[in-house]
Structure 1
Amino acid sequence: MGITARGIGLLGAAVLLLGGGFRFAYPELLLLGAAAGAALTVAVVIAARRPRLVVRRRADPDRVARGEPAAMTLTVRNAGRLRAASLLATDRCGGRMVPVPVLRLRPGADTTVSYDVPTTRRGVVQVGPLRVTRRDPLGLVVLARSYGDSVPVWVHPRIHPLRAVPTGVGRSLDGRVDAVPQGSITFDSLREYVVGDELRRVHWRTSARVGELMVRENVDTSLPRIVVLLDNRAAAHPDRVDGVAESFESACEAAASVLTAAAWEDLPAVLLFVAAPDATGVPGGGGPGGGPARDADVEPAGDVDSDGPLDRLAVVSLTGAGTLASAAARLRRDRRGDTLVVLTGPGAREDLGHVGALRGEYRSVVVGVFGAAEPSPPGAAGLVVVDSADGAAFAAEWDGVRRW
């Protein structure tokens, strides 16, 4: 609760009038001072009265690619029964405030407002909560309260279609990169029987022990596995415009494109970062100069659901922790696939030798360098290097690669 300039003036006048009335025994001054004090008291009571508002909001959609339209629909209902609510309300949408018309909202009535959510930058746009400001009729006291929760709108990197998908050395037995519905003969796990399962896949010994039919679940080990390493170090992306490193944004778009192409082809893929997630669990959330980081954590990236790879690409930011050498050591120790895609910026071109040393563990190694002033020398470190200005150029160069 705050007092306005008018209220401060009236409070000062009340103190002076009451003091003068007592000092000089003027009943008129005492009466005026008491009236001013009573007006302030009534103003506090009116402003402190909490209206009963029910706030509902819906994002349509709540996950979009950078530059795509997204809208927020906000509904405010007056749940009170006695009198209309005379309020001023604004809704926070990212860094701006959107006015909401709730002036003289009758009991049981509601009002709806829709507005566009800015999606020009990758990240998470927090929308809400609704901020309601209540004043007394004389404008002496103002009180602001928050109603409802905030809703995040996830702005993912743009996805550029890729026609070619690296297949590494592990291919299906028929010479194609197709998933086998029932898996290969490699055992993976046991699960409960469902109608339609073949009886020849029932594991009778386990079924007799647990009292339920258990079915063997197999995996196709011939399918290639793709590992995407995103360099989220501030040193790898030194050039910034208005605080935004366009080379890093392009690398995020390339990572999203590769992972989406792998998902469409039903290929297993993993996403990891050079700088590990910080203590809050947000990858790279520490920002430049953040605290020490562990080795890069590997995350599954076979789908685009909540907390999937696109969500992690939406929240990842640049950090000062981690090195490409430590990430390469982790990749060598925990081999996650046969195709490695490294996406970095111009500041990491001198460190590509650490990536080139992984060719013994990963048969196919592709490096995407974004924002470099000069193209990388052909065959640098024995790698397939794709120099690109942005994500769209990377997709065009990617489809033109003939040697994986």
Structure 2
Amino acid sequence: MTLTPRGIGLLGSAAILLLAGFRFGYAELTLLGTVAAIAVACALAHAAWRPRLDVSRRADPDRVARGDAATMALTVRNGSRLRSANLIAEDRCGERVVPVPLLRLRPGRDTTVSYPVPTHRRGVVPVGPLRVTRRDVLGLVSLGRSHGETARVWVHPRIHPLAAVPAGVARSMDGRFDRVPHGTITFDSLREYVVGDELRRVHWRTSARIGELMVREDLDTSLPRIVVLLDNRASAHPQVVDGVAQTFESACEAAASVIAAAIREDLPVTLLLVDDDRMAGDHLDRLTEAELRDGRRDGAEALRTATTRLRQQRLGDTLVFLTGPGARAELGLLGALRGPYPAVLAAIFHGGDATGPTGPGGAGSVEGMLVIDAADGADFAAEWDGAGGW
């Protein structure tokens, strides 16, 4: 609760009038000072009343691709039984302030306000809470309170359709591209039996030892396993304009496009970030939250650590490395991955200024890996589909 400049002036005048009235015996001054003090006290009491507001919000949709439309519907209900709400309210949507009309909101009634959510930039847009400000009629006191919780809208990177998907390195024995989710070629792990599992897949020896039915999980080696490594080091994306590194945004779009194509073809895919050890969570949500990191350590050391982890874990057979112009000289670090990852593709986003060996856009081969130079996500999709092979 704060006094407005008008309230501060009136409170100061009340003190002076009361002091002068009692000091010099002027009843008129004392009366004026008393009236002014009563006005301030009434304003404080009016602002201290806390309205009972029930605030709910719904995003439609709460996850959207960059540039697509998203709407936030805010509903405010006056839960008071006696008094109407006559308030000044505003909702915060990202960096924007949205006015919410709450004039003469009668008891038990509600009002709904819908407004667009900005989706021009990838990221998580926080919406709310509702900020309600109460002021008295004379404008002496102002009191702001927050109502409701904060919602979030996930603005995913734009996805560019990819027609081509890696066909894999290991084929099934009869040469077909097997789509069966549980193949019978390579043993992978054991798990507990669930209703519906075939009895021929029960591992009887282990089941007898532990006292529970255990089922074999077999890995179909004809399915390629794709690993997407996104370079989120600030040193790899040195060109930043208005707080946005466009080459990193293009890399995020390319990662989302590869992941969407893999999911469409029912292929297993893993997303990794160079300067981030986390692997859990929805891939598109992680891409939405991804930010450039200045690096608590040397940039080359971070990439070396990431490639070492990939070599030790062998998460797949097809590696897609997405980076910016600042990492062009570090592609040699991926050469050590040619053994555990038979197919390696590196995409360098240059934002329209390519200086690499493949020229201004296009694909080539460096260190035994396929290298694509692309200006943006759309250019990457065209070069990806036009690549001769893996």
User: What TM-score does the superposition give when structure 1 sets the normalisation length?
Assistant: 0.89
Deviates more, 1:37-46 or 1:161-170: 161-170
| Inter-partner Cα distance in structure 1 for 2:198 and 2:354 | 59
| Inter-partner Cα distance in structure 2 for 1:335 and 1:21 | 88
> Deviations 1:239-258 (Å, cap 9, x if unpaired)?
12212111100000001111
Are 2:336 and 1:357 equivalent residues in the alignment? Answer: yes
Residue matched to 2:112: 112
Give the direction of change, closer, same or farther, for the CA distance of 1:345–1:43 in structure 2 (3 Å limit): same
| Inter-partner Cα distance in structure 2 for 1:6 and 1:134 | 15
Residue matched to 1:191: 192
Give the direction of change, closer, same or farther, for the CA distance of 1:98–1:152 in structure 2 (3 Å limit): same
Are 2:299 and 1:341 equivalent residues in the alignment? Answer: no
Give unmatched runs, 5+ long, in structure 2: 359-363
Residue matched to 1:294: none
| Inter-partner Cα distance in structure 2 for 1:325 and 1:182 | 34
Residue identity opposite 1:190 in structure 2: R
CA contact (8 A) 2:168 2:222 kept: no
Show the 5 A alignment for 1:4-403. Answer: 4-185=4-185, 186-194=187-195, 196-204=196-204, 214-276=214-276, 297=277, 299=279, 307-321=281-295, 322-323=299-300, 324-371=303-350, 372-377=353-358, 378-403=364-389
Residue identity opposite 1:400 in structure 2: G
Give the direction of change, closer, same or farther, for the CA distance of 1:359–1:209 in structure 2 (3 Å limit): closer
Residue identity opposite 2:368 in structure 1: G
CA contact (8 A) 2:178 2:222 kept: no
CA contact (8 A) 2:168 2:223 kept: no
Number of paired residues? Answer: 377
Give the direction of change, closer, same or farther, for the CA distance of 1:264–1:98 in structure 2 (3 Å limit): same
| Inter-partner Cα distance in structure 1 for 2:202 and 2:313 | 33
Give the direction of change, closer, same or farther, for the CA distance of 1:114–1:173 in structure 2 (3 Å limit): farther
| Inter-partner Cα distance in structure 2 for 1:181 and 1:210 | 27
| Inter-partner Cα distance in structure 2 for 1:77 and 1:108 | 7
Runs of 4 or more above 4 Å deviation: 203-214
Deviates more, 1:2-11 or 1:326-335: 326-335
Residue identity opposite 1:328 in structure 2: T
CA contact (8 A) 1:84 1:107 kept: yes
Give the direction of change, closer, same or farther, for the CA distance of 1:109–1:16 in structure 2 (3 Å limit): same
| Inter-partner Cα distance in structure 2 for 1:197 and 1:153 | 39
| Inter-partner Cα distance in structure 1 for 2:67 and 2:53 | 34
CA contact (8 A) 2:247 2:349 kept: yes
Q: CA RMSD in A?
A: 1.8
| Inter-partner Cα distance in structure 2 for 1:105 and 1:173 | 72
- 1:382 positional shift: 2.5
Match of 1:235, SS state, is helix
> Deviations 1:95-122 (Å, cap 9, x if unpaired)?
0111111111000000001000000000
Give aligned-pair identity as a percent.
Answer: 65
| Inter-partner Cα distance in structure 2 for 1:177 and 1:17 | 93
Give the direction of change, closer, same or farther, for the CA distance of 1:163–1:173 in structure 2 (3 Å limit): farther
Give the direction of change, closer, same or farther, for the CA distance of 1:210–1:381 in structure 2 (3 Å limit): closer
Give the direction of change, closer, same or farther, for the CA distance of 1:138–1:247 in structure 2 (3 Å limit): same
| Inter-partner Cα distance in structure 2 for 1:68 and 1:362 | 36
Match of 2:306, SS state, is helix
Give the direction of change, closer, same or farther, for the CA distance of 1:176–1:114 in structure 2 (3 Å limit): farther
